[in-house]
A and B are shown apart, each in its own frame.
Chain A
Amino acid sequence: MSTFVNEFELDQVAYKPKTKIKKRPNKLLKRERGVAFLFILPPVISFSVFTVIPLLVTLVLAFGDFNILTFEYKFVGFQNFATLLNNNTVAGRTFLDSVVTTLCFIIEVPIAIFLGLLCATLANSKGCKKTNTVYRILLYLPTVCSAVAANIIWRIIFLDGASPDSSGVINNIFDITVQWTKEKVPLITAIIIKNSINGMGSAMILYYASMCNISKEYYEAAEMDGANGFQRFAHITFPMLTPVTFYLLIMRMSGCLQSYADSAIFANGNANAQTVVYYIWFYGLHEYNYSLASAAAILLGVVIMSITIVQFRLSNKWVLDL
């Protein structure tokens, strides 16, 4: 026993210097490190120039008063943010309005996800064994079409005219005269309906793919225990799909918060449906009030960054482990 220990210790002692030598960077390792750094250098430089520096400039702009014509800059602290959150100025009221509108657009996220889940469940059922490929192809089709074209067409579908002949499909089918493209509530409702229908396809494809990955054994065991279809869905399928649901929620939400085409094309710049990004564009590049727009952009950025960080934190399961 004692001899064994001694031998073991001796071994350790004998090998220690060797490992130390190995740890010192030799020529080859140094060269590999150099090449590895060279490989990431173009992205790092490009990222610094086109993202990090503009980000810092946005911060500087947001805390100051900048005039594009004279290039004069004056530090004003939080004054721009105060203007934005003040309901008494025009700029502030418009901004708070745009925040409310953008938040209303988020209603489409759960609807689209629910419809996607419904489609995937139906397509995965026994009755649709032969037809599910067709449905998957068709339901995903609008996702590859451009948002511009989709918005143009949806606007015509929701169009409201003086007579039935000059209004769109919706008003004709339901025989109503709702001002979908003018009044606030119908306009936002129309955008939510449009986005829920458009977003359904990608949610369905994702859900379907992960449903196919759920092991059949769970269902066999559940059937043995006498679980009915609904119980199987509620206690096996849905919990197994949590990562996908979460991913969809985050992605669609951050997409919604950045929507611009809805305001610019579907609502045609109507003041009743301006999103935050549209506000930034309008005050920044249209009215040349760079500082105010930068402050709004910083607020938007903080919200989206915190959502993304939550995603990275909670989604370790399916995100890269460093």
Chain B
Amino acid sequence: MKYVDETILRFPLVGNNNSSRRKNVGADELTEKDIRDRKDKIKGIIGGIISNLILAFLAFLVLFPLIFMVLSSLRTSDEYFARIAFMFPENWFNFDNYKRVIVNANLLVGYKNTLIIVVAVIPCGTLFAAMSAFSFAKLKLRHKQFWLLFLLSGMMVPGAVLLMPRYIAYQTIGWIDTLLPLIIPHLFIHVGTMFFFIQYMKGIPSELFEAAKIDGCSTFRMFLQIMFPLLLPAVAAQDIFWFMGIWNDYFAPSIYLRSSENMTLQVMMASLNSSYMGSGNQTIVFAGAVLSCLPMIIVYLILQKFFIKSMSIGAVKG
């Protein structure tokens, strides 16, 4: 036996029934396993390539308007009108349109007005939403169910339904063409935020507050020193979307604001669109559009993980 093996080892190519059969058996076993492995691997790779390609295509579809917007904003009017659909600029660093939109259209005023609304509404609104949520989630409030349903019913009423009475009222007290109609109604109540905070507070153990109560802590201090610090993650998650909502709001501002020194950024963009789109300076509008989106895009790219997390929490629970 030993001798045979050695000869086979020494002369593997010498025709020998025994050895060839052995080789074949070995090869069969290997190839069977190999084929299965390789099939799986190839399947995986092909599947990966296909799914990546589909996703890349869809991402391109979704991002195409943004690409078009940025590239078109770098073109001159002549280039643009020569061929609208061909979007690549001749000079990639032509920021002329941006200069013109900031100087001529006074876009910075729009930024200022939008920021005034944000700074006025969000801190105050967050505080009052958190206070009412605390009352609903942790305090012994009488007729709790009734009040909660009363406030939640506000979520159902679409803005268009309240449009006419609000407009008439604001006109009589002289709020039209000021930022007040966009600030005052939102200072004390934001039902969605309140709802989200109630959800979040349900997860904070009540024992904390019972212990504080036994130690003689007043209710307001309990809110300020125990609840509010614990609520901060929820506040951050909610406020970023609130900020986005105010930044991108168009319907209400477009109705209440008239003169260009009071317009928010989005209204200004729309009026820029209607006044320049018919003229020969359409590329200015693209520069304006880029500038109106840019702050949100930057905030999003910096905080993208946080954004995506907050969005899924807020939506699935709220």
Contacts and interface: CB of A to CB of B under 8 A. Distances in A.
A156 B301 CA distance: 26
Given A40-B135, A145-B293, A149-B69, A166 B84 contact: yes
Interface stretch (A203-211, A217-225, A231-239): A203-211
Contact of A152 (B62, B129, B151, B273): B273
Contact of A265 (B147, B273, B317): B273
B85 A167 contact: yes
15 contacts: A33-B139, A39-B139, A39-B223, A40-B132, A54-B161, A55-B162, A122-B55, A125-B47, A127-B49, A138-B63, A156-B84, A161-B84, A277-B160, A293-B163, A301-B157
A173 B282 CA distance: 22
Contacts of A309: 156
B25 interface: no
Contacts of A198: 62
Contacts of A35: 135, 139, 219-220
B161 A298 contact: yes
A215 to B, nearest CB: 16
B266 interface: yes
B63 A37 contact: no
Interface stretch (B8-16, B231-239, B303-311): B303-311
A261 interface: yes
Nearest to A244: B316
A149 B289 contact: yes
Interface of B: 44-45, 47-52, 54-56, 58-59, 61-66, 68-69, 72, 81-85, 87, 128-129, 131-132, 134-136, 139-142, 144-145, 147-148, 150-151, 154-169, 184-185, 187-189, 191, 194-195, 198-199, 202, 213, 219-220, 223, 244, 247-248, 250-251, 254-255, 265-266, 269-270, 273-274, 277, 282, 285-286, 289-290, 292-293, 296-297, 299-301, 304, 307-309, 311-312, 315-318
A172 interface: yes
Given A136-B308, A157-B68, A127 B84 contact: no
A234 to B, nearest CB: 18
Interface of A: 28-29, 31-33, 35-37, 39-40, 42-47, 50-51, 53-55, 57-58, 61, 68, 115, 118-119, 122-123, 125-128, 131, 135-142, 144-150, 152-154, 156-157, 159, 161, 164-169, 171-173, 197-198, 200-202, 205-206, 209-210, 243-244, 247, 251, 254, 257-258, 260-261, 264-265, 268, 276-277, 280-281, 284-285, 290, 293-294, 297-298, 300-301, 304-305, 308-309, 318-320, 322
B273 A45 contact: no
Contacts of A122: 51, 54-55
A280 B58 contact: no
Contacts of A169: 64, 68, 85, 87
A135 B128 contact: no
Contacts of B151: 40, 43-44, 47
- The binding surface of chain B is classed by DSSP as helix
B128 A43 contact: yes
Given A32-B219, A40-B136, A297-B163, A146 B247 contact: yes
A216 to B, nearest CB: 18
A123 to B, nearest CB: 6
B139 A36 contact: yes
B134 A125 contact: no
